[in-house]
Amino acid sequence: MDVSAVPAEGQLVDRFGRVHRDLRISLTDRCSLRCTYCMPAEGVPWIMKDNILTTLELERVARVAASLGIDEVRLTGGEPLLRKDIVDVVRRMAAIEGPHGPLRVSITTNGLRLPQLMDDLVAAGLERVNVSIDTLDRQRFADLTRRDRLDDVLEGIRIARDSGLRPLKLNAVLLRGVNDDEACDLLRFAMDNDAELRFIEQMPLDAGHTWTREGMIEGAEILDRLSAEFDLEPVDARGAAPAERFVVNGGPHHVGVIASVTAPFCGACDRVRLTADGQIRNCLFARGESDLLPLLRGDADDDAIARLLRTSIAGKRAGHGIDDPGFLQPDRPMSAIGG
């Protein structure tokens, strides 16, 4: 792209006028589960340990990003709670001040380590938790994740509920012929635990590249299934949020549907991603990345890091292009990109 078109100051704004305020940081590509729609049973080639960003490097990038208007950091993976210094990472992130105040820090997790870490994470400044759960059936959970750990996830959700952090969100992916008959059961479970359930369309980000449009359960179909048992009232003012939200049975509970494939929200996207090995990605489905590692481990100053962030955002496309005939799935799977 024409580097002269890259803003030299101000917020992280792309050529379509989208202001970026949300930084997703992947802490590791490793995970304690092996979900069938994410990776094969044997896992994937892991990022070399020496290439994983240190805590000080993560803190530096977040501090520079905050100076450019980023006001929220979501820690992802892989499974972010596998990182040994996760509590220190949260503490350092929560202490960063931007133009609008301290960074708001949240995390997306499979919940397995929440019973051991929740109190320390809250004390460190964690504001919100998203826990992934796709089924309430033990055998299905074992089949889907290749691990018999449903009880541990349920305990993690209970711990998160009792922590008082709100909103507590639960993420679920419905797979045709696998767990798609549990949509209403999952919503009831979420409401019973004072959580907001968010159904996420299966996306072409699996390591095995087995995703097909025909096999995916679309957001509209999910809503049809829920509407058979619940009264859903749309919530206005979605803004940059990825989920289309609905009030359930008049409130107070809500449910959301993230239809990234069939109803993309690219026009309002305010997210930028940092992978565990220091790559900046301006879109979840981007095939190109901007490498921060040489800057972080060389003699570059913070201005150089800011310029790379600005350049990456300035080159962001209008949309992810899944419906384009020439769309190609990213080489990295979701576990290596970070949600």
pLDDT in tens, 49-72: 999 999 999 999 999 999 999 999
Residue 81 has pLDDT above 80, yes or no: yes
Q: Is 23 helix (H, G, I), strand (E, B) or coil?
A: strand
Q: What is the pTM of this model?
A: 0.91
Q: How confident is the model at residue 179 (pLDDT cuts 50, 70, 90)?
A: very high
β partners of residue 244: 257
Tokens 């939200």, residue?
245
Q: How confident is the model at residue 305 (pLDDT cuts 50, 70, 90)?
A: very high
Q: Which tens digit of pLDDT belongs to each residue from 315-334? A: 898 887 666 655 656 667 66
| pLDDT at residue 221, rounded to an integer | 95
Q: Which tens digit of pLDDT belongs to each residue from 158-174? A: 999 999 999 999 999 99
| pLDDT at residue 288, rounded to an integer | 84
In the predicted model, what is the mean pLDDT of residues 35-41? 82
Chain mean pLDDT for the chain: 90
In the predicted model, what is the mean pLDDT of residues 91-119? 96
- d(C-alpha 325, C-alpha 299), whole Å: 43
Q: Which of 213 and 104 is assigned the larger pLDDT?
A: 104
Q: Which of 139 and 287 is assigned the larger pLDDT?
A: 139
Angle, vertex CA 164, rays to CA 158 and CA 168, nearest 5: 65
| pLDDT at residue 329, rounded to an integer | 64
- d(C-alpha 70, C-alpha 72), whole Å: 6
| pLDDT at residue 216, rounded to an integer | 82
Torsions phi, psi of 133, nearest 5? -150, 120
Q: Which of 87 and 322 is assigned the larger pLDDT?
A: 87
Tell me how far CA of residue 318 lies from CA of 159, 264, 270, in angstroms.
40, 11, 12
| pLDDT at residue 262, rounded to an integer | 82
Contact residues for 177 (Cβ-Cβ < 8 A; gap 6+): none
